[in-house]
Amino acid sequence: MYDESLSTFVLIHGGWHAAWCWSKITGLLKRKGHQVIAPDLPAHGADPTPLTAKPYEMYVPRVCEILDALPVPAVLVGHSSGGMIIDEVARRRSDNVQSLVFLSAFLLPLGKTPRDVMAMDEESILRDSLEIDVARGVSSVKKEFARSVFYEDCSDEDAEWAIRQLQPEPLIPPGLSTSNTLPNPSPSGVSRFYIECLRDRALGPRTQKWMYTETPCDTVYSLNTSHSPFLSAPVALSEYLMEIADRTASVG
């Protein structure tokens, strides 16, 4: 049963991760009385979708289904590649979205693809840390590099816990729903916020800044963290999310 006097957050994880990455944030937001939904995307975490079923085609419809079932618009948060998912969801379900939050996420400028963005990112060490299995159609983060890429500022315990749960990510064929062809990625009337991570080695800070400069947001927040502030700075991140929810609730 949803309490309409409180905000509803839908948290969308990025590549190689699943809903488990939000566990600290979920707890903090729920303790403040907010409603929180953090789904496993198809073929991630406990979701049973096989990797052979083109799960990337199901990401956006799955999130749309979640929003359709809610009685109130939600604050939609996308981490990393989850930014592209929430952008498309907002185009399809603008009335169901209270605001969009891009957490060190892809916010594609007009005509750009994720490959374009990663090619220009000289700060990222992610590409050199991947193992590509073309036969299986997946990429994996090499275990010996995972902490440097994602969890450099996390505690040993959190980093080891997270690394154990990383899983292969389905490869998305070039040109399939990965390019922004619209002048404004998000629909008019939907507030858009960016939370940059200043010590990020998966999606470099300069690249994050370039994206939110090319595609301006209502406000940009900064965290002096790695790519995973949901583990290394959960209190600061949850406070930003609640501030954004309060701001956009008053507008709506």
What are the pLDDT digits (tens) for 149-195? 999 999 999 999 999 999 999 998 876 556 566 666 666 679 999 99
Whether pTM > 0.75 for this model: the answer is: yes
Which positions ≥6 away from 172 have C-beta within 8 Å?
Answer: 56, 178
- pLDDT at position 187: 67
Among 15-29, 131-145, 161-175, the range scoring the smallest mean pLDDT is 161-175
Tens-digit pLDDT profile for residues 222-246? 999 999 999 999 999 999 999 999 9
Q: Minimum mean pLDDT among 84-88, 112-116, 167-171: which range?
A: 112-116
Query: Is residue 204 scored above 70 in pLDDT?
Result: yes
The answer on pLDDT for 210 being more than 80 is yes
For the residues 101-108, what does the mean pLDDT come to?
97
Domains, the chain, with CATH or none? 8-251 (3.40.50.1820)
Select the more confidently predicted residue: 84 or 249. Answer: 84
Maximum Cα–Cα distance for the chain, whole Å? 50
